[in-house]
Structure 1
Amino acid sequence: MSNNHVRPSSISGIKQLAKRFKKLEGVSHIVALHKASMAAGFENYRHAQRALGEKRATAQRAFALYISVLWRDRTTSSSGCEILKMRLGKPLDALVKPAQYKNGLAAMRREGPDHLADLYTEPSQEAAREAACKIARKIQFMEATGLVPSGANRSFPKGSFQNRMPGSDHDAGWYDPVAKGFIRTSEPYSRGGVTPEQHEWAARHGWAVVKAPWKGMYRPDDGTSLFLLADVSKGYSLEPLISRLADAPPPIVISDWQGESRPTAPAFVSPGRMAEIAAKAREVKTLGNRARPINSTEYNSLLSGTRRWPKARMPIEQHKAVGRLLKSVLIGTRGRAGVYRRIEAMRCELDSRAEHEYGRDELSDEVFFDLYYHELPESDPLAAVPGSLHRHIASLGEIKAILARHYPECPQLRKLLKKADQAIASLLTWKVAPPAGDEPKLRQSVRPAM
C-alpha cells in the first residue's frame, strides 16, 4: 500500500497533498489545490473549504487532559511536578476504559475525569517532562486512530509471539473496536521504509506493513519511525488509519515543551477533579424550590453536571488581565494555604469559564493556555516575588473590580468574590511575608480543554 493514495480528510491534509502535486507535476498552486480537493472527494477547493469548515464548526468542543509526573533529583536534592495540558476531542473516559490502562498506560493512574498521574517518580525534571510527552503521544495516537491498547496474543500472526515481525522494536498491540480487528505498531530507529525481509514476512502471513505519515509515540524527535502491521487476509484495511494519522497534529515532544512546573506540594488537583468534589458536596445539600437567579444561566458540564454562571461573558483581554493578576498572587504565597488554595480555585473556575464562553474559532489553543496556566514572563513586573504582601492585596482588589464590572450580580459571582475576600483576609493576618526570591516560581506552561 502506498502513502501516495492516502485520501485527505481535512484542509491541512488537502494542502499537504497539493504541495506534493505541485512538486511532482510542476502545476500551479491553484491547480494543485483543485486536484488535491478532488482526490479528497470534493468538487473543487471551495467545496472542500465549505464542507470541512461546516464539519469543524459542528464538531464537539474539546476536552482538557492534564498529565502530571513527579520527579526528584538526588544529585541536587531538588524535586517538583511537571504538568502537561492537552486538548482532546472527547473525554478521557470515552477514549480509554480503566481495564485498558494495564496495557498501554500501565504506568498511569486516573486521578480525575481530566487527569492522568504517573505512578512513578522520575529521577530528573527532564525525565519527567519526557515521560509526560510520551504519555501525551499515546493519547494522541489513540484519539487519531480510535484504537485502544491490547495485550492479546491475537495481535501477532496466528496468535504467537514467535511470529513477530523481523526488525520490530518498541512494538505494541492494539484493537480496533469499529473494524473488530487487532493490529500492531512497531517503532524502530529507522528513517527508511519497509525492508525486503519485512515485505517477505508480511506476504508469508497475509499481513500488511505500512510506514505511517505520523512520526510516532516512542522517540519521534530522536530517530524512531512508526509502522502499522495488520492481518489483511480477512479484509482489514490500514488505509483509514493512515489517513487519520496524516491529518493528526504533530507528536508532542520535549523540545517544544508547553507544560508547567510546580512544587510537589500542595498536590495538583485538576479542574475536573475539583468539579467532581464540588458536585458530590452539592448532592448532600437540599436545595428546595428556590427561584433561579435571573442574572445567571444554566449550562451542562460533562464533569460536574448542570451548573450555573453569570449571564454574560467577559472580554478575552479582561480574562488575560485577571489571569495575569492571579498568577502574580500565586507567586510567593505557596506557604499560605488560606491564600493559595482559594486563588487556585478561582483560577480553575475562570479557566473553565473562558472555555465555555469562547469557541476555538474565537480563542486559539495558544491564547487559551496562556490565559490562566502559563508562567508570567520574567520581564513582567508582576513576575518578581514582592517584598511585602501589599501588592497581592492590591491585585486581588483589582481582580474583584474587573469581575464585578463584566459579570452581573448573582450568587455565582458572589461566591467567586468571596474567595478573593477570604484570600485578602488571610494575607492581612499573615505575620511574616515571604522573603523576595525564596519561593519557587509559579509554574511553566501547559494546555487542555474541557
Structure 2
Amino acid sequence: MGLEKIMSTLSSLPERISFSNTLPKTIQGIKKRAKKIGVPGQKHTEALDIVAREMGYRDYRQAQQALASSEGFSEVNQTGYPVFLCAYWRNTDTTPRSAGCETLRVYLPRPMNDFVSKHQAMYARNLEGFRQEAPDHLEMISNTSSQARAWELLVRAALSLQFMEMSGLRPATSQKQLQALEQLEGFPSKDHVSLWIDPTSGMWVALDEPYGHVNNEPMVKARTAWITHNTLHLTKPAWAGLYYPNHAVPHLVSPSEHLLRKTTVALEGLSPIAVVPSEEQPWGGTSEPYSSQFISPERLASGIARRARPGTTYGFSKGAVEYHREAGYPSLWRPETPLSQADHRKVGAELQCLMISPMPFKAYQKIRTWCSTLENWMYSEYRGGDRNQDFDITYYGGEPSVYPTEPEQLSALKRIRTIIINGYVECKPRRDLLKGLDIATAIIEGQAT
C-alpha cells in the first residue's frame, strides 16, 4: 500500500468508523469489533490481535483460550463462588533462566467482598503482597523467586481467605486496633502473631503461631499461667494455621471467651481449601508464560480493561529518564541531564552536615530521604570509568560538621536549592526534590519562630 493511500485511509477513519468504546466480552464480540475497526489492506488477524490487546490479552489466541474457558464455565455445576489468585515468578538460579505466571482457582461460600473489603484484604496475613484486580481476582503485585514459591504463596493466600470467611474475623487495619498487641507483651514464646477483629463486637483475637517447642510441658505451663494472670483466654484449635500450615502450632488468644470458643469451633476440622503441591499432590492450578495476563470472569463481564501491575509498563515524563524498574513497584525517575560531579559533592557535603545537626525529626526524615535519592541519581548518571576520586563518599562517609542554629541550616538548604535549580532541567523529579526541600525548610522555620 502506497504512502498516499495509507494517509488517505487514516484521515478518513474517524468518519467511517463509529462504534462503542465498551470492550467485547465474548469471542464473537471480538470478531465483530475487529471487523468494525479494520482498515483496507489490513489483515483480519491483525485487527483481532488489536482488539485482544485492548482487552488486556497478549494476542487473539490468548483471548480465545481465556474466553473459551470462561464461556464454558457454569456456576451451577460448581460449589460456591470462584476466586482467582495469581502470582508471577522469575527464577534466576536456573539455566536458562525461567519465569511464569501461576493461577489458582478456589471456591468460597460467599463472594469475596461479602466477607472482606478491598481495603481490609491487604492487611490480612498472607495477602499483604496482593492487590484486588477484580471482585473475584487477587493478584500478587511483585515477582517471587520460583514456581514452587509462587505455588506456596498462592495456597497460603487461599487459606487466609478461607479463614476469614469461616471465622467471620477481619484483619486489624488501624493503629487503634493494633494497640491490642501491646497486651501480649511478655507472652512466653509468642511468634508470628497476626491480629483479627470481630466486626460485630469489635473484640480482638490474636493468632499466635510459634513452632513445636511450645508443646513442651514447661512451656505449656508458663504460657497458661501468663494467660491466667493477664485475664485472657487461650485455645489451641486442631487446625493447620496460616503462617506455616501444618508446621507452626496455631493458638488463639482473646479477652472474650465466647468469641474464642466460637472461632475455635469454626476452625476445628476445617478441610483446607488448597494444599501446597508435593510428590503425592500435584499443582491444582494453571501455569502460563510470564507475559500472560489472567483476566477473571468478573473483570471480563465489566467490559473494562484490566490494570497493569506497577513497574511492568513504559511511561514518559518530560525532561526525565527512568533509571530503575522492578515489577510490583513504581518506576524510579531522575532528570535526564546529569548534575556535575562537583555539584554533587557540594550538595552531598551540605546534606551530610544537615543530617547530624539538631532539627525536628520530620525535617531530618525529608533530608535523609533526598540524600539517598540524590545518591541513587548520581550512580545512575555516572558509570564506571566516568566516576571521579572519592565518588563513593559523595553523600555518605565524609567529615561533616554540625550546623547548630536554624539560620545556618536554612542557609544550607537555600544553597542546595540553588544548585539543584541551576544544575538540573525542569522536570517532575526535580520538582519533587524541591518540594521536599521546601517542606524541610518550612519545618525548621516553624521551630525557629
Length-normalised TM-score, structure 1: 0.45
Question: Structure with the greater relative contact order (CA < 8 A, sep ≥ 6): 1 or 2?
Answer: 1
Which is higher, the Rg of structure 1 or of structure 2?
A: 2
Length-normalised TM-score, structure 2: 0.45
